[in-house]
Amino acid sequence: MTVEIPKASIPKALTGASLTIDLAAIVANYRLLCAQAAPARTAAVVKANAYGLGAEQVAGALQRAGCRDFFVAHLHEALSLKPTLAPGAVFYVLNGLQPGAQAACADAGIIPVINSLEQAKLWRDLAAERGVVLPAAVQVDSGMARLGLMAADVAVLAADTDFFSHVSLALVMSHLACGDEPGAASNAEQLGRFEALAGQLPPAPRSLANSGGIFLPVGFHGDLARPGVSLYGCAPNDAPNPMRPVVRLDARVIQVRQVAAGEGVGYGLTYHRERPGQIATIAIGYADGWLRSLSNVGGAYSHGIRLPIAGRVSMDSITLDVTALIEQGFTLGLGDEVELLGPHQTLEDVARDAGTIPYEILTGLGQRFHRTYLEG
């Protein structure tokens, strides 16, 4: 069944490209991650609009599939998403509290991830002022030097009985720097430090594993796993990808033209053919997240034939060398679609060509696409 969600979608004829998001595949990926992480429970990381795919649709589908816990980066993401879900969803804000945000966070029943003693004080003071006990997650830095209480701060917080009379510990968490590298020595070191630091705090469920961490030994799974990227079909590490693909992106042809031998194509005239050929221009560009670093490197597909990007990626259009396709007897014209993400080209392929990671391709996917959500 194809569910069209008009609110999120621009009619196809008015756009240059169509993004298809398979919610059933996201649910299947969630179930696979649940099985792999068990007996730990599995949350869903839906920050950055569910990695660009639509937080409302994704979180709704996952909640219907039994997911209870959701992680976002910013409080405003939780505030806008929570009311769209059925009651019972638990939200954690990874970046924790900004000064002035405490009341809104507490009013909405959202759990901040406390990353520093300053954030701990903001939350404790609000609880004291209101005369209530407020739940918090506490993040400890087990060796990434990004977010979380350092060892000395953990000792200070652990000794602060006043804090724990105002704040109940809902979760102790940390984050792996190399979760996608099963052979990295830092993983075991981080696990050891995490357990030692968590052990100083009052008893609470523990959470360490992102997508990659779920595919590390069971000791890394804790009580609550926090996958993001693998829900959306990306490989958790360098091994063959066990996840189901979730996104498909097709861009439309807006012009096909002949080029002479030696004729320059695109800004800077950086592409030339030795023989005459055919160039197709498609209606997608770097303003849609199809990165300029794909200039003269990336490609698209039609009938399984690779169509190399010819010249530089422009803001709203890309030129493809389609000579090989035409020479094999296929035609291509105004309104026809070429595949940018799908069975012939994965997010991993595009990320490699662009010199980046699948996360950046996903979260950069533009707002100008016709979007279709498929539900099982």
Ligand X SMILES: *Cc1c(COP(=O)(O)O)cnc(C)c1O
E-state strands within the chain: 2-3, 17-22, 41-42, 44-45, 69-72, 90-93, 111-114, 134-139, 167-173, 206-207, 224-225, 247-259, 277-282, 299-302, 305-308, 318-321, 337-341, 370-374
For residue 65 the two structure tokens come to 């599939």
Among the listed residues 47, 232, 271, 373, the single catalytic one is: 47
Q: Closest CB to ligand X belongs to which residue? A: 228
Q: Out of 41, 124, 166, 175, name the contact with ligand X by CB under 6 A.
A: 175
Q: Find the part of the chain contacting ligand X (CB under 6 A) among 81-89, 227-235, 245-253, 261-269.
A: 227-235
Q: C-beta of 291: minimal distance to ligand X in Å?
A: 19
Known catalytic membership, residue 121? no
Query: Residues in contact with ligand X, total (CB under 6 A)?
Result: 10
User: Which of 82, 226, 370, 371 contacts ligand X by CB under 6 A?
Assistant: 226
CB of 177 to ligand X, least distance (A): 11
Can 82 be counted among the known catalytic residues?
Answer: no
Rg, Å, the chain Cα set: 24
Angle (CA) 276 279 280, round 5° = 160
Select from 222-230, 249-257, 284-292, 368-376 the region that touches ligand X (CB under 6 A): 222-230
Contacts of 134 (CB under 8 A, 6+ apart): 106, 123, 126, 127, 166, 167, 168
- To ligand X, the closest distance from the beta carbon of 350 in angstroms equals 17
Q: Which of residues 335-364 bind ligand X (CB under 6 A)?
A: none
Tell whether omega for the bond before 343 is within 30 degrees of 0, i.e. cis.
no
Told to check if 112 binds ligand X by CB under 6 A, we report: no
Name residue 113's amino acid: V
Beta carbon nearer to ligand X, 21 or 318: 21
Phi and psi dihedrals of 25, rounded to 5? -70, -35
Residue 70 or 301: the one with the smaller Cβ distance to ligand X is 70
Residue (227 or 311) nearer to ligand X, CB: 227
- Give the burial string for 258-287 (b: 16+ CB within 10 Å, else e): ebeeeeebbeeeebebeeebbbbbbbbbbe
- Name which position in 52, 135, 222, 228 contacts ligand X (CB under 6 A): 228
29-88 positions binding ligand X, by CB under 6 A: 45
Choose between 124 and 226: whose C-beta lies nearer to ligand X.
Answer: 226
Residue ranges in 195-214 that form contacts with ligand X under rule CB under 6 A? 210-211
Site residues (CB under 6 A) for ligand X? 45, 94, 175, 210-211, 226-230
